[in-house]
A and B are shown apart, each in its own frame.
Chain A
Amino acid sequence: MTDSARKRDYWGRNLKYVGALLTIWWTVSFGFGILFVEQLNTIRIGGFQLGFWFAQQGSIYVFVILIFVYVKLMNRLDHEFDVDETEKNR
């Protein structure tokens, strides 16, 4: 595989990860927290209506998880395509 084809594949995989993670990002915030909040509010968990919970709590937890998942996926991808930073750069 040529160097530029390798980089193109690497970039394509990266875009796939970003697309998937941003879909989840959009769904929990704009979807659950805003557009479908009333429908979800008919479901209750303890004292929380589910839509309200996503708007004020759940979406934030998911955001944190998404970033760490991306870190993990990209570190693996960098290694697989041998484009990670070299030891001297820490």
Chain B
Amino acid sequence: MNVQAWTFVMVGVSFAVYIGVAIWSRASSTREFYVADASVPPLLNGMATAADWMSAASFISMAGLIAFMGRDGSVYLMGWTGGYVLLALLLAPYLRKFGKYTVPDFVGDRYYSKIARVVAVVCALFVSFTYVAGQMRGVGIVFSRFLGVGINEGVFIGMGIVFFYAVLGGMKGITYTQVAQYCVLIFAYLVPAIFISILLTGNPIPQLGFGDTLADGSGTYLLDRLDGLSSELGFGEFTAGNKRSLDVFFITAALMAGTAGLPHVIVRFYTVPGVRQARSSAGWALLFIAILYTTAPAVAAFARTNLLTTVSNAPYSEVPEWFKNWEETGLIAFDDLNGDGVIQYTGDGSSILNELTIDRDIMVLANPEIANLPNWVVGLVAAGGLAAALSTAAGLLLVISTSVAHDLMKKTFLPQISEKGELVTARVAAGLAVVVAGYFGINPPGFVAQVVALAFGLAAASFFPAIVMGIFSKRMNKEGAVAGMVIGLSFTAYYIVHFKFLHPELNTVDHWWFGISPEGIGTAGMLLNFAVAIGIAALTPAPPEAIQNLVDDIRVPRGAGPAHEVSA
């Protein structure tokens, strides 16, 4: 069978599984719709969280980014895993004990303030919409490359599937489809990685093959060969860093705190039966994520080595099939500047002009073809990419619908709405969100990549400090928390908008404040938030006694019932 037939089979079978799971796990109450009845076992919740968290960016783009960034790519590896330690130690158990449905619920109740709740809702909506647009785009790209349909038709098919199980099943449907999607995506990620590791190093474990000697009998270590090739072609050594330490430090911290503050991740910890399970499911989630995240840098090094040895100085007339395939999508472009018919692929440090441009996003998708793996592996990777994009999109859509139906309608504007009415509103909101997400997938705003920096920066500068102080400081009051959030948010948003949108020409290390890039500024916003909140809280009255008792209560596990509505 050819690649396209295999892709149809792999994608078709996986979609049939998702739909079957969705029908089996329909939601019938708001509690099932929002938090899956708080009855998900921790191990399964760990898998669902991993699928929820690992998006098209993790599956498709991350290894490609690392392949081109070398050691500097570790900001993503550490940033997007280290956040789970913060989540497990500082947030998840306490939020589970608190037991309400959403992050704005916690912020609104703990700081006894409607303004705080609305600020939190606006942040949650912004972060979620930013993310979901990128997922739908990822779905479109996979469809157009592997199934020969247009990007737009691909987005429509993706919307249809997500609509079906997110609207019908709510959190319950999403949780169990995410478990299935995790299995598909991790299998699809590991199979080509293992194949390529064996081909290059003879070691079947990519994490070890990465540091092993090459299988060509030369006895040279893979990373040494890669460092040599890279510097020869003027790219600089793969294992050396180009960014300043301070900037790497700030970006990593912003990604960690941002991860811990993302609403679609936090909400997953409301779905387990109790505090004990919230702690352990954070561990399972990180374990399942780590399987992919420790494989990714190995894939990056393998792909980079393969790319440099295959295309560099190859005559254009003899390039392999995959090169032509990806040229058609416009993601690889060769411009024979010196007219010698040979591909010169070089970096800034070389005196020879570079003739090749490669989109970083194709590294994972093209990797099986570059390494000449069987056709079914190529099809499997396409199904894995779709699983990653769809699972994350569904989790985000649920946050959007919960924010609208629960936080805005039920808690702010329409408190008398009935249970049934709220459930209908949640479904309608999920449906509308799918349509908006699809619109952005078809007409992507040119700034999706830039906005992601904003999403993490804002989560780091707003939610993370507000929630941490809400748990660890009894003295933190409404005035301090609101001032901290508003100032942290405005500062971070101002800095990113200034350098990314208003003055992109100034977005260089010479103009950055203290050499901190917009990607890392969320850390400064977070520190500012903490400082302002603590200062203001010291000057204003302590929170009411009932709130201090609430804080005492969430600090001990006993008494955590299922996620509930407190009638206070």
Contact = CB atoms under 8 A, between A and B. Distances in A.
Q: Do A and B come from one complex?
A: yes
A56 B223 CA distance: 13
Interface in B186-236: 207, 210-213, 221-224
Given A47-B211, A68-B283, A70-B279, A25 B245 contact: no
Contacts of A33: 74, 78, 252
Contacts of A63: 81-82, 84-85, 286, 290
B373 interface: no
A74 B279 contact: yes
Contacts of A43: none
Contacts of B73: 56
Contacts of B245: 34-35, 37
Interface string B74-117: 10011001101100111001000000000000000000000000
A30 B252 contact: yes
Given A63-B290, A67-B84, A89-B273, A56 B279 contact: no
Contact of B71 (A18, A45, A52, A78): A52
A7 B81 contact: no
B77 A55 contact: yes
B235 to A, nearest CB: 16
Contacts of B212: 46-47
Contact of A35 (B78, B249, B286, B561): B249
B85 A78 contact: no
Interface stretch (B11-19, B145-153, B505-513, B550-558): B550-558
B282 interface: yes
A63 B285 CA distance: 12
Q: Label chain A's interface by main secondary structure.
A: helix
A21 B89 contact: yes
A83 B557 contact: yes
A74 B225 CA distance: 46
Residue among B84, B88, B245 with the highest chain A CB neighbour number at 10 A: B88
A63 B84 CA distance: 8
B77 A56 contact: yes
Interface residues of A, number: 44
B96 to A, nearest CB: 10
Contacts of A45: 211
A90 B77 CA distance: 35
A85 interface: yes
Interface in A30-51: 30, 33-35, 37, 41, 45-49
What's the dominant secondary structure at chain B's contact region? Answer: helix
B248 A34 contact: yes
A14 to B, nearest CB: 8
Contact of B77 (A30, A60, A66): A60
Contacts of B557: 78, 83-85
A47 B224 contact: yes
A59 B78 contact: yes
A30 B257 CA distance: 14
A61 B252 contact: no
B293 A70 contact: no
Contacts of A35: 245, 249
Contacts of B293: 60
B297 A57 contact: yes
Interface string B428-455: 0000000000000000000000000000
B287 interface: yes
Nearest to B66: A56
A47 B221 CA distance: 5
Nearest to A70: B89
Contacts of A22: 85, 89
Contacts of A74: 93, 279
Interface string B291-312: 0011001000000000000000
Contact of B558 (A29, A41, A57, A83): A83
Interface centre among B224, B275, B282, B557 (most CB of A within 10 A): B557
B560 interface: yes
A52 B77 CA distance: 12
Given A63-B290, A83-B556, A89-B273, A57 B207 contact: yes
Contacts of B283: 64, 67-68, 70-71
A18 B276 contact: no
Nearest to A56: B297
B274 interface: yes
Given A25-B85, A30-B252, A57 B71 contact: no
B78 A60 contact: yes
Contacts of A55: 71, 74, 77-78
Nearest to B256: A29
B239 interface: yes
B249 A30 contact: yes
A78 to B, nearest CB: 6
16 contacts: A21-B89, A25-B85, A35-B249, A37-B245, A45-B211, A46-B221, A49-B223, A59-B82, A60-B78, A63-B286, A64-B287, A70-B89, A85-B558, A85-B559, A86-B558, A89-B560
Given A52-B223, A56-B66, A89-B273, 4 more contacts: A10-B555, A33-B78, A60-B81, A70-B88
Interface of B: 66, 71, 73-74, 77-78, 81-82, 84-85, 88-90, 93, 207, 210-213, 221-224, 239, 241, 245, 248-249, 252-253, 273-277, 279-280, 282-283, 286-287, 290, 293-294, 297, 552, 555-561
Sorted nearest first, the 4 A-B pairs with minimum C-beta distance are: A47-B221, A55-B74, A47-B211, A67-B283
